[in-house]
Structures are given as C-alpha cells and as structure tokens.
Structure 1
C-alpha cells in the first residue's frame, strides 16, 4: 500500500523558513524588516527606539502567526525565528537583540521548552557580557502539562499571545526593564490554557504524521508540537470538549463571580473559524453563567501546530493594570488593537556594532603530541561519515521522536551535521582536531538552536579542549574526546542518568570505552566498546519513564519507547567506529 504523505506548497523543505520570512516581510514592508547575518531576526520598523526596553520574542517555526506575526509597534520589537519546531540559536537571538536594543535593556519572552530556555539563556549571558542588561521569562500557561504545585514546569502554548501583548504594551508605555518583566510575570501568572487535538501534524521535511491518532479519537491536553496530552478518547461534542478544557483552567485560576477575563480561542492549523466560533459560544455561555465578565475575545489562528486539527482555549484573569495594557494600541501582522500611536522619535539605529572578534592564538604544531593513528585528516573523515550516518537515519530518528516528543529530532540532527560537514570542507590540511571541534561547535549551534544545538555545541567544544595538547589521537585521547562529548552535554543540559535522555547513551558509552582502554584496547576497540555501551543505554531507555524534556509530561506512556537522543548518540558512535574499521585503523 502506498504510504500517505502530506501535500504541501513548498520548494525545498530546507528553505521553507527562509522563504516564509522573505514572503512575510514582502507582505508587510511598512511594518517588518530583517537584521543580522543569520537572516532569522525579524524586526519592527517603527517600534524600537532609544531609551525603550527592547522586547524580543521567539521560538520555532510552524506556529504561525507566532512568533514573527507579533512584531510591530506596541508589541514585540523583534522575533528570533528558529527552524520548524526548534528554538532559534543564540546568534539568531543576538541578531534580534543587537538590532532593537536602545540602551534600556532587552526582555526575552518564549515558551517554556528546554531548547528555548537553553538558547535564550545563552543569549542573555552574551548580552550581559556585552553590557546589555537582559531579562527572560518563559511562558507557562498549559495547565495540562504539570499540576499547580509544579507550575514552573508547564509548557508555553497559546498563552504566549497575552504575555507578549502585555509586555509589549508595558515597554511602549515607557516602563523600565524591571517594570516590563513584572508586567510579563503578572500576565503569565494570570493566564491558563488547554488544548485538544483531532489529528496529527506532519513535518515539512518528512510529510509523515508525527504521531498516530485514530479517526474517531481526540487527545485532550495536546501540546503545540504534537506532544501527547492528559488522555485520549473518542471525539465528543463541541460543548463537552469545551467543558473539559475549561474545568481545569477555571479551577487553576480560581475565578470567582465578578471577575473579568480576556479569552482566546485558538485554532491549531487545520480547524476553521466555523468550528472555533462554536467553541466560543459555549465558552461565553459557561463564563456568563458563572458571573465572570468577558472583557475581550479573540477567535482564530494565533499559535498553530503546522497542519494539526484541533483548538486551544486560553483565559487571562484581568486586573486594572493588565486590562489597561491589553487595551493599549498595537499594530502587527497578526494583531491590531485600534488606537492612536504617536510618532516614533529617537529610533534605534539598526544593527549596532558587534564586538570585535578575539584573534585566535597561533598554535605551534611542533609542541603537540603526534602518537596515534587518528590524524586531523582521519578525524575529519570520521566526522564526514558521521554526518552521512545521521542523514541516513534522519527519518527513523524523527519517527522515534514523534512518538514521545515533537517529531523533529532527526531533522534537527541532520541540519546540525550538515552544517558540520560544511566547516569540515573549509578546514586547512593541518587544522588541529581541537580547532576543528571548535568550528563544529559553532556551526552546529548556529544551524540548529533547539535543545540539540547548545548540547552538542558544548559537547564538541569540551571534546576539543580535552585533546588540546595533541595533533593526532591515540586510544587514550580518543576516549578523552568521547568523554568530552559527555561532559559538555552534562554541563549544559543538566540531565542525569536515568532521566531518559541522550545522557543514558553517552554515560555508558564512556564507561565501556574507558574499560576497553584499561584492558589495552586500541582506538577502534575503544570505539567499538563505546558503541556497545551506547546501544545498551539506548535500549534501556525504552524500559524507563521520561523525567526530562517534552516527553516528561507523558509519565508511564513514555515506557516502551526508545529516547531519540539516545538513539542518535548510538548512531554517532557507530559511525565513528565504522569509519576507522573501514580504513583498517586500529
């Protein structure tokens, strides 16, 4: 039987984000522009100005009109745009920050996902180092993703809409950085959402459904990347669905008679206005019956999940300040609130000067150890073979991720390793393994973002530093390089053994490699042992519950499924071993 693939209007899947940004700017040339070498910073033409806090939002593509659709006067000053379902990287975020920073600092706003947190944290660190005050807030509105006592673990979904609006209005009003952060925190604390999915979404690169859901089923509490929710059951009436979505939202907000709310009824990509208005009818009835006043309602697509059918409901409990900020005028491609916007004075000059790059210290190759069969040329050949292996396993890794995550892990790893392959081609013949590792680190991070970007960027950097005294690698140095990968991932990600992450493959891989080294194993034998350890760790992840990342919300539902990060770790180590074995290197 022919496999069904989603039909899309695109050119090359790898160009979809770049071309979409170009098309968006072409549609709104009076509002939007782009800045920076990455091409992923969409900026407001008439919002940023000297003395005003720069509000920078961001996240992965596939949620349109979020995030760039909320860039404009009175709302966000810039958006950093990542790949599909993947966080932007620090350099993309910094392009946005440099373009709109007006001397009053910047406020980063994003959904509470591991990749976004890591990448925006790295950008905030870079801002502070450059003398730009920076604050961050991760939106946590999804009541389905964690109980109230662990609200800080909740996902950010369509509630971004209200938090972004409030923070943008506070900045437009002239509040300082701490004041804008306080307003954003107040909005986040007052906002709750919950969604339902009727169909799966599909990634542009694969055209296949990220997960399986029966033709008569629905998933209550679904995330905006296809993450499973609280329960799966048969499709119910619109009123019954609304009642189930509203109940935890109302309970969590503690709404009482006489209070006011703003309402967002959001389509996830393939549910039309006709159905959304049916949902809103029941929401209005329910709130009115409880004596809760509805101040404003928005119905439409505001934070989507590619082509997923379904919807989410968001309420923001209003006080006088939140209501006033919500009502302030703004003008963006996705949201306009009518009202007079005074002319902009003291506009920020776009693209502030970058700090001068530090000159790389020259290395005396004659001081480096030359024992060992893995020369810089052999090392680069190993890395090219690894990139090929990741590409060959891309769809399989994404399928693994689609079951317990958002279905993009293989795609993300392939993007990162394709960037690595590019810098390998540029390497001088005598470039050291440490220098090559450093360039791999930057290439991966600039290309990927997501959680894999910071993790593997740290991994390559620390691996290279572990062999900085060597030109060639012997068995001990090869094990040290692999251990550096593990250490870099641990230092940036914070996961532990047993959390059902890539660490569950990297830790036993290093343990097995060190044992082989202690037994006198050569380079190839040590990598064979590392591969065996990674394979055992990968397989073990299928027997445990996830405690980190998006799949942590699944609990027992994650058992029986291999962690995709652990699977890609095994692919990497197997490719490294096979590259040496094929060349007869021992």
Structure 2
C-alpha cells in the first residue's frame, strides 16, 4: 500500500478482496453455503433449492454486507450473485446462480433498483428465457428520498431489500408458484419505505480515498447506500431530530394510522454502533405510538451497509395478514434466523440448460483487406486503451465520487484489465472476433452498468465491420459509431442526459465530418477525440437525467460526467496508439 492512501482496511490485494471474502464466508458457514459455477461468484444455500420450488436469486454489489450473500439459506434466498464492490454482478454470475437453483418451477430475481443491476439481471432473464427457464424480476424501490410520490418506479433500493427478500423467500418456501411469489414480492415492495442519513464518507478498497467529502460537523439527509448524495446537506443534528426528519418523509409517503401494524428496521451503514441505533429506534417507537401504529417486530443492527460509512437508515414495512405470515415464517441464513421448524430439505435434480452456440466460421476470402488497421494493429490499440483507463482510474473515480458512487474508474479498469488479459497474446482472428471476445471479457469481469453497456457496444461495433479484415477510415468510423449505437440500444440514454452518450454522439458526428472531407484513419480518430472532449465538457453544464446522479438535480451542475470522461480517454488512446 502506498503512502497516499488515506483510509485503512484489513485486506490483502484490492483485486483479491471479493474472492477472499467469499472464501471466508464459505469457511465460516460451511453448513449453510456452497459455491457453484465457473465464475465462483454464485453462493448457494446448501438445503434451500429443491425440485418443484421457485428458485429465489438475489444479488448486487459487494460492500453492503451482510447483503446480499448473508441472506442465502433455507426459507430465504436460494442463491446470491456477488458483484464487485458497489457494482452489479454480471449476467454470467447471475446465470451461475440461476442454473444452480432452478428446480423446474422457474426462478425469481430480486435486486435494488440501480441501472447496472437492472441491465445485468435483465440480460440474465433474457438468457433464462432462451434456455427454457421461466424467470421473473423485482427491483426494490423503497428509498423515498430518491424520487417523489407518484414516481416510485424511479426510486433506489436500499435497506428495504431486507424485507422484500424475506417475503419472497418465504413465499417460495411455502410452495407458491412463480406468479404468486412475484406477486408477494411486488406487494412487499409497495408497502416498504426507507430513508437514510450519512455522517461520513466511505472509501473503495481500490482507491483508499473517501468517495465524497462531508464536513466533520455535517450530515447528508437521504444518502444512498453507494455514497450517492441525498436530498440535502446540513449541520449535524441530534438523534431525535434526525429520526423525526427521516420518519416525516417516510410517513408522508405511506398511509399509516390508528390500528395499523408495521415491521421496523433500524439499519447501520457500516460504522454506526448499536448504542446509536437503539436511540433512533427509541424515537421511531415514540412516533409510531403517537399515531396508534403497532410495531409487530423490529430489527436493529447492520443489515445493508455501505462499507465503512457512518450513518443509519429507517425502514417500515406496512403489514397485512399475508405479509405478516410470510415475515414470521422461519428461515436460517448467516445474517438472519427466524425461529421455527423448517420442513425437511428436499432434493434438486440437476438440469441441463445448454444454450451455447459455437462461433461462426469466417470466410476470409470475402473480407475487405484494404486499410491500415490490421487485426494486430487493432489489438495493440485496444491494449493501449486498457493502459490509459488504468492510468486514469483514480481521476475517473474522483469524478464519479462527486455525483455518483465513486467507482467508475475502478469498474472501467476492472473491465479493461480483463480485456487486456484476454488480448495479451496475439490470436489469428478478425477484428469482429476480437470485439466479440472483448465484449465477453468485459461483461464477465464487470457487471455494473458499464459491463452491459460496453459489452453491447463492442458486439455492435464488431458487427459493423464484419465484412472487413482490415479497417480503412470509413470502417474505423463505423466501428466507433457501433460503439455508440450499442450503448444506446442497451441503456437508452440520449444526448443531454449527462452520460457517456454525450461524448460518444459528438465523437461519431465529428468523425463522420472528417471522413466526408476525405480524412484518413488518423484524421477521423482525431476528430472523434475532439468531439468527445467537447461532449465531455458539455456535461458539466447540464443536469443529470439518468443513472444514480439523476437524483441530484441542480447539484450535478458544474461536474463532468465520468462516463463521458472515460469515453474521451478511450478515443485518445486509440488515436495515440495508431499514430505510434
């Protein structure tokens, strides 16, 4: 570790933190958990999955422990797909989990409502459909701070995951079919509300630096679980004042009155002890009692954290007879045990779900061979991009820390490191085939939102030049345009949303102008760099409308979008590598 690292963590190499943590979980809970699949990122309940039962698969980024793998066990989740820190698991991680628990009744995916999770679980659901596994999904949307009433579908999933996962797992354990399990989870989500407060920043293992700044006497009301800024920043208040503000927002959003019954979760974000959490619960009890609302059961502790962030969240689940029954059903997991008699474990028949198709043969005699960018030149250009992303990793993460969760540079570096490893040795293949390999390597390594976006981008770019062996200026422009089209087709962002698209679209436009003016490959790439730089700088002038930073409104003004910045880094590296 270097001298400039500002935070301390008990870890070995940052790149080993997830596999070593998984190894530790397995050694700590050998009676409850096992790992399956080639990715080693799917943790499975030893006695949970069985024939005829809906398989419950939860998942998300690491750093929220005990969520998500801590809720794998009999009566709750059958499996968890484990992503990198603050990054969604990839579709392959999720599919390893789905294949391991599918007992003929289908699978249900549950996760927090974040762009990366939605895209990666959607891709997994698409793959399930292609190989004959029925799949349904529920994105948890409990955070009242992240979107107003009437736009609940835009809200983040935070500690409410705890309740929605429990209800879904109990419904499946009870023997309900896929549609009924889905309905129970949707019902729980609709009756769940949360809000949190942060008292300090957290730091990513790869950077060792706080991913946002918060003064010693300040707090952030409405903070997300990845360090996303909240509704407002103000002076630190008393425990009762904080509880009042959180509860006011929650109760304004859900109808609770005399005779209603709730379950309560007072959740620590990683560095707030039980002493403080019980003080918050004391006030929650007073507020609910004043309304004549009965607390059926409470949980106080760390159930959905944010690395070492200080702070807490409050979650209420409004109960009816069915939700109460499901909440009270027994379960046994590393992080949650509800007492009661569990039925004897059943057996799971291993099913074959082979949806893999072999790579198509390429007749090279039909491919255009004019142009200076050979497959080997292209490989060197991509290696240069990976090096440039690595060199700019911390800067990109710092940009993201201001308006997001602070991991963009880390995530891009993980993806491009996988690409560099995949392309380390020359292989006799076309640029389209190289692009396809890049897509798989990036997606398998990253997940998050960048994984599906750039995987789709590389595939689309490769398809755009599938008729060529070497690339001329027109083909290079077509490849860059394919990158942009792939990102837009998967993510749906448009110019003005303050995303990477704000750099890629003008990059394509400027490259096309250079091509129409007779520019060669170098001139077209240089023009693309200029367009991306202009687009990157433009993002500082606009409010964010997509992704985690979309919750900030005017607070996102004046800050460059990290995705647009990384797009510019990539194009500059390509141009420099070609010139060299």
TM-score with structure 2 length normalisation? 0.99
Q: CA deviation at 1:359?
A: 2.2
Q: Residue 377 of structure 2 aligns with which residue?
A: 378
Q: Deviations along 1:145-188, whole A, 9 cap, x unmatched?
A: 00011110000000000000000000000000000000001100
For residues 313-352 of structure 1, the aligned pairs below 5 Å read: 313-345=314-346, 347-349=347-349, 352=351
Q: Residue 461 of structure 2 aligns with which residue?
A: 463
Tell whether the 8 Å contact from 1:99 to 1:349 is kept in structure 2 after alignment: no
* C-alpha distance in structure 2 between counterparts of 1:361 and 1:117, whole Å: 30
Q: Please state if 1:25 is matched with 2:23.
A: no
* C-alpha distance in structure 2 between counterparts of 1:354 and 1:206, whole Å: 40
What is the DSSP-based 3-state SS (H/G/I as helix, E as strand, rest coil) of the residue aligned with 1:195? strand
Q: Deviations along 1:39-71, whole A, 9 cap, x unmatched?
A: 000000001000000000000000000000000
Q: CA deviation at 1:427?
A: 4.3
Tell whether the 8 Å contact from 2:5 to 2:207 is kept in structure 1 after alignment: no
What is the DSSP-based 3-state SS (H/G/I as helix, E as strand, rest coil) of the residue aligned with 1:390? helix
Q: Deviations along 1:292-329, whole A, 9 cap, x unmatched?
A: 00000000000000010000000000000000000000
Q: CA deviation at 1:353?
A: 3.1
* C-alpha distance in structure 2 between counterparts of 1:476 and 1:40, whole Å: 41
Tell whether the 8 Å contact from 2:130 to 2:355 is kept in structure 1 after alignment: no
Q: CA deviation at 1:357?
A: 2.8
Q: CA deviation at 1:349?
A: 4.0
Tell whether the 8 Å contact from 1:41 to 1:95 is kept in structure 2 after alignment: yes
Which consecutive aligned stretches of 4+ in structure 1 deviate over 4 angstroms post-superposition?
Answer: none
Which consecutive residues of structure 1, in runs of 5 or more, have no partner in the other structure?
none
What is the DSSP-based 3-state SS (H/G/I as helix, E as strand, rest coil) of the residue aligned with 2:306? coil
Tell whether the 8 Å contact from 1:196 to 1:311 is kept in structure 2 after alignment: yes
Relative to structure 1, the CA distance from residue 82 to residue 4 in structure 2 (aligned partners, 3 Å threshold; closer, same or farther) is closer
Tell whether the 8 Å contact from 1:56 to 1:107 is kept in structure 2 after alignment: yes
Q: Residue 389 of structure 1 aligns with which residue?
A: 388
* C-alpha distance in structure 1 between counterparts of 2:146 and 2:431, whole Å: 43
* C-alpha distance in structure 2 between counterparts of 1:354 and 1:286, whole Å: 52
Which consecutive residues of structure 2, in runs of 5 or more, have no partner in the other structure?
none
Q: Residue 483 of structure 1 aligns with which residue?
A: 481
* C-alpha distance in structure 1 between counterparts of 2:380 and 2:108, whole Å: 43
Q: Residue 522 of structure 1 aligns with which residue?
A: 520
For residues 382-421 of structure 1, the aligned pairs below 5 Å read: 382-421=381-420
Tell whether the 8 Å contact from 1:427 to 1:436 is kept in structure 2 after alignment: no
Count of residues in Structure 1 that have an aligned counterpart in Structure 2: 578
Q: Residue 129 of structure 1 aligns with which residue?
A: 130
* C-alpha distance in structure 2 between counterparts of 1:339 and 1:60, whole Å: 31
Q: Residue 195 of structure 1 aligns with which residue?
A: 196
* C-alpha distance in structure 1 between counterparts of 2:569 and 2:4, whole Å: 26
Q: Residue 165 of structure 1 aligns with which residue?
A: 166
TM-score with structure 1 length normalisation? 0.98
What is the DSSP-based 3-state SS (H/G/I as helix, E as strand, rest coil) of the residue aligned with 2:151? helix
What is the DSSP-based 3-state SS (H/G/I as helix, E as strand, rest coil) of the residue aligned with 2:508? helix
For residues 209-228 of structure 1, the aligned pairs below 5 Å read: 209-228=210-229
Aligned-residue CA RMSD (Å): 0.9
For residues 420-569 of structure 1, the aligned pairs below 5 Å read: 420-428=419-427, 430-569=428-567
Q: CA deviation at 1:342?
A: 1.3
Q: Residue 149 of structure 2 aligns with which residue?
A: 148
